[in-house]
Structure 1
Amino acid sequence: MKKSNIIGLIVIAIAVAVILSTRQSASSYVTFDEAYAMSTNGDAGSIHVVGELKKSSNGEIVGVNPSSDRLSVEFILVDDNHKEQKVFLNQPMPSDLLKSDKVVVIGGYHNDKFVADKVLLKCPSKYEETSL
């Protein structure tokens, strides 16, 4: 075989290995019901749930409770199916949590409670068009 053929096969093998290794860490957004079903079926991986913070009838955010030492926070997230779920984050409250449009929690269920390892925020001010 020519050197170029061998190098080409090695490059293809490396590309396939990278694709297969990243495929397991990739996940799509699910609802809380799907996340609960996944965790009860033994899926110990990180589950991504997208939703909005719970709001009162007049539009104010409710259900955000930082701990007394400010090292953790609990909040109520409403997923796309309008299911409310209390989420526990064992980290200080993200500074823009109350300003965010959408919230993505990454974690899983532990003792029937959703525990987030990470929180991603989509703030509307970052995506608004500005006139020049």
Structure 2
Amino acid sequence: MKASHIIGIIVIAVAIGIIIVTAGDASSYVTFDQAKEMADNGNNNSIHVVGELPKTGSGEITGIEPSSDKLSFSFVMVDENKKEQRVFYNEPMPTDFKRSEKVVVIGSYKENLFIADKILMKCPSKYQEKTVTAGI
């Protein structure tokens, strides 16, 4: 075998190794019950939970409690199984948080509270189609 063939095989093997390690760190969305079970079993990895913020009949979001210093807040989130869970986030409330359609929290359970390290939001205004009409 030529040296270039051996180097090519080594490069391919390293690339496959990187892909396998990266895929092992990938996380899927779980419910709060699954996240609690994972935490009870000693899984300390970041867990992704997707859900929505509860709203009143008039569309107003409920369950948000900012801290007195406004540097952290907690809120209630409803997962895909309709389970409500209080979530604590040790950062200020994101600007468009109350306008979010869906929320993904990334974090872990500490006792009976879900502690979020990150919050990802899907705001409806970003995804609505806009029609443009040209005046003739």
- What TM-score, normalized by structure 2, do the two folds share? 0.92
Which contiguous aligned blocks of 4+ residues in structure 1 show a shift greater than 3 angstroms?
none
**Structure 1 gap ranges (5+):** none
| Matched AA of 1:96 | D
Q: Output aligned runs, 1:12-91, within 5 Å.
A: 12-91=12-91
**Structure 2 gap ranges (5+):** none
Structure 2 residue aligned with 1:96: 96
* Shift of residue 15, structure 1, vs aligned partner: 1.1
Q: Take 2:11 and 2:31, find their aligned partners in 1: how far apart are those partners?
A: 38
- Tell me which moved more, 37-46 or 14-23: 14-23
| Matched AA of 1:49 | V
* Shift of residue 67, structure 1, vs aligned partner: 0.5
Structure 1 residues 81-126: Cα deviation after superposition (integer angstroms, max 9, x where no partner): 0000000001111111100110000001001110000000111111
Q: CA RMSD in A?
A: 1.1
| Matched AA of 1:36 | K
| Matched AA of 2:21 | S
| Matched AA of 1:75 | F
* Shift of residue 57, structure 1, vs aligned partner: 3.0
Report whether the alignment pairs 1:112 with 2:112: yes
